[in-house]
Each structure stands twice: as structure tokens, then as C-alpha cells.
Amino acid sequence: MNFHCGMCKNGIVKPTKGEGRHLRYCAFTSIPIPDDFEILTCDCCGETYTSLKTEEDLHDFQTPIYFKYIKNRIQKALDSILKAGHDTVTIEKSLRVARGSVKKWLKQKEPTIKEAELRLLEVYAEHPEILEKYKFQKTFKLDLEGRIVEENKT
């Protein structure tokens, strides 16, 4: 199973365990790798070689951690917004999501909130005063050029 490293040409690549390792999970997030999880690693340059199976196993380990992180972010933002005196209906109208979405996200094992929605929720948490401006669900009537001819608050 051991082989010479294709990156540095010097080291030997072999299954390696280790502490403090992280792996990129998605664009902005890396998540720990279990200490006893073996990954083919070069003993010279540290280059890692993973198979699809290895990546799938790691993904299975990392996914619940990632969604804990997402739920923590939702809860933290929600706490600040509610503390500032707004309610979840106002939040949902502002985000233009269905009524009950906030509650649903917190109940789901893998919340379906989109990253952009979560970021906006965090912006509201930091600046709850702007919710006043966006708390109405507006509907728009357009002309043939896509310009607004009429808007209504609901």
C-alpha cells in the first residue's frame, strides 16, 4: 500500500493517523478529522492522497458537525433579533421565506436554510433596526419593460 510521493519524489506515502488535522468541508469551512482516521500521507512533504471512499467516510463524519455549526449560527442570530424586540414572522417576511421557516430550520437535522439567507439573518442580528424597513412583504405590479408601476405592502 505504501508508495513514493508523486509531489516531492522523496517521501513514502503511507496510511497515517494524527492529531489536529482539518479538512475543507465547503467553501468557507474546514472541519476536524478524527485523530485515529488514517489518510495516505507523505512522510516527507505531508501531501495527502485520498480515495473516494476515504472522502465519503470523512464527509459522513463531518456532515453532522457542519449542521451543528449552521444551527448554532441560526440560533445565535435569532436570539439577538428576538432580544431586539422583533418576532419570527417579521424575520420571515424580511427574508421572503415561507411562514414557519425559522422554526423548521431549527428542527431539521440538516437545515435547508441557504447560506445567503443565513448571512442576511446575521446582518439583521447585527443591525436589528433595519428590520423596520424590510418587515413588510411587498408585492409589485410591473409594466412591459419590467419597471415598477405599483407596489403594495402586505
Residues of the shown chain interacting with Zn ion in the complex, contacts defined by CB under 5 A: 5, 7-8, 11, 42, 44-45, 47
Nearer to Zn ion by Cβ, of 47 and 117: the residue is 47
* Distance from C-alpha of 72 to C-alpha of 70, rounded to nearest angstrom: 5
CA nearest neighbour of 77 among 126, 132, 131, 133: 126
CB 57, min distance to Zn ion, A: 23
To Zn ion, the closest distance from the beta carbon of 10 in angstroms equals: 6
What gap in Å lies between CA 94 and CA 96, rounded to an integer?
5
Closer to Zn ion by CB, 48 or 54: give it.
Answer: 48
Nearer to Zn ion, 11 or 34 (CB): 11
CB of 53 to Zn ion, least distance (A): 22
Q: Which amino acid is at 118?
A: L
